[in-house]
Structure 1
């Protein structure tokens, strides 16, 4: 028994060939080439293809734009776009050398005096963006997206003059978390998973896990969505399941859930696959184009999560 089957991968591959951007097509070939219709092992050329596709979204100043993150449009790099770029840089082992230095230089330039980065600059006002992405008059740094950026850099062992201040910003923000919402918790977990101070990270992760349950931020039984609480501004049905907080078995958030709870969520994830072989958009759809561009990335991410748990928390027969 496994969460991910050859037929599932082949159907997702057909969906990506039909609807995916070049970036998601190259990611799929790199990550699942051995199981895909081509039947070939991933190669260095496939890794280079992913990075070439990602670099097409790079701006002259070193950030990313041009709809890499489908909810953030326009030619001006925005910090929120790194939420999409960072996992790709991680899975291609590209967070080192000149690539990491360039990224840190750009992020340092985007940071406030406190060391954190805001989701967006005022320049985003000129371009299409969702109503929930509020563009303030002055940039306000937050754990979102700073935690999503800093965690992978620390996990990769990157060193840069900006990182100590950014790390302290995230530590302070994590310690201050009280009433929160799933995306903020996920940013915190991403930071904690990369933090070298493992003892402190485990203590904070344990506290956050308690908050997630107390505030009913996780949906443990998809058959009873009334048992979870949707955060203000979330779309109907935008619930977060255990694997959303712990997309990898080695995440600190894995300890928040029993194997049984994870299996329920993973079954819901596997069953969410649609007839065309792709996975659906869960958050509010503010543009048909965004839906079309987001689903391929969501599909690759779903496959990655299901494969990650295939052996760690396998399904039970029957």
Structure 2
């Protein structure tokens, strides 16, 4: 028997709220949209008009609500994550890209567009799903982009997303960032990275992060900066003089990263804020 879309949404949102899911109404609408094969806007239109869901929708929705109530990331359930203009495939083994990282991509895009020469070279270290590299590659189509990832599981997702985006100018490279792309030494315009930066003793509050994001993408040693130290050294070799480095990090790590970069020989180290006003990105010049 069919039920009203509003009834399904209300019941799903109540279950999600009881489980402590943030924004339960939004997630309920997105899960129902997935079941109905429409957009969230399509669900909202049916809410306004009092539309009924097709037979079987309630049965299809129930296990998805149960998974989300267990705090499985919404993106894992839907199979995709929105990032800038892209829709990326995500799932177990890969870090789910966050909205704040869209600003990291923009900083790298701006630097690539400002680079001298017709075809800027950009390297994304710790690419994960490929979100940043693919944003650069599709929004700066004249760029030559290399995306480096150490995790075999994440690398599979990155290659899949490269194929999905049709970004032939983005090269996926499997391996350790500390040794990546020696043939590009001294020729790169921009190095960008969202590395693991959580100290190993700091447990993320959100179950979606703590239980589902891969540890390799989260933890960066005792102080969280082990990978940042390695990428600083590697980026110094990759970039030409005047090249631009930008790193995403925790909101309390800006000063320490500026000091680290300056000690390594970088110039003009500066920290930028995300859209919520938190220190989130530090850049420097080669």
For CA contacts below 8 A with separation 6 or more, give which structure has more relative contact order.
Answer: 1
Structure with the largest fraction of helix? 1
- Per the TM superposition, whether the score is higher than 0.5 is no
TM-score (norm 2): 0.33
Structure with the largest fraction of strand? 2
